[in-house]
Amino acid sequence: MGEIDSVASLERLPLQFGFATRPYGGAAVSGDHHTVCPFPGGILIVVVDGLGHGEEAAVAARLAIATAEASPGQSLNQLFTQCNGALSATRGAVMSAMTIDIRAQTMVWAAIGNVDAALFRVDAEGRRKRHSIVMIGGVIGSRMLNIRPTTLAIVPGDTIVFATDGIRDDFGDMVAGQTAPQLLANEILARCGKTTDDALVVVARWIGDTHS
């Protein structure tokens, strides 16, 4: 899917998103990649960190993203299994993935290795609640254990943040109110980005289906 096509179709989705990224050491390529990929009835978000950094890390990450984009509607078990096979000749990667079921207003997510993700919800009393993804240790492409997918209902206003390990794990402190996803991604990278690794943060906000 070309970048322009994906932007055009995302404008009609009940989801806003933004991202911010910075390669390690001012390098031209990053080993951290992502996709936000709509498919009939749903949206797939994948964030992948190729092991290490530089071109070899980028090769592994790009391959995982291409594998995900080739069949975005498949189950997360199928997705991770396919990526594990596809990356066997690479140095490997760690990855988080989430699939949103638009009609059911649910999402399911899973992670292998350290690509953190968290859902933030503010209730009517202004209390913030956080749900964190379950990260199973391992490397996609060499030693991948079974994923542990978790399903959650989503409500309009939910903010979901994905962060590679080039982002400090206190990134959740930055999430408050309804800051636009792109601004929030910029702020998280600026304040929580490490200078010792590639860094990528992806922010998605569920808007809900305004036609129902």
Tell me which residues touch Mn ion (CB under 5 A): 49, 165, 197
Cα(21)–Cα(32) distance, integer angstroms: 8
> 116 or 165, CB closer to Mn ion?
165
Residue 81 contacts by C-beta under 8 Å, 6 or more apart in sequence? Answer: none
Least Å distance, CB 160 to Mn ion, is 20
Least Å distance, CB 79 to Mn ion, is 20
Least Å distance, CB 162 to Mn ion, is 13
Measured in degrees and rounded to the nearest 5, phi and psi for residue 115 equal -120, 105
Cβ neighbourhood burial of 59 (10 Å; 0-12, 13-18, 19+): middle
> 13 or 57, CB closer to Mn ion?
57
> 158 or 165, CB closer to Mn ion?
165
> 42 or 50, CB closer to Mn ion?
50
Least Å distance, CB 188 to Mn ion, is 15
Cβ neighbourhood burial of 208 (10 Å; 0-12, 13-18, 19+): middle
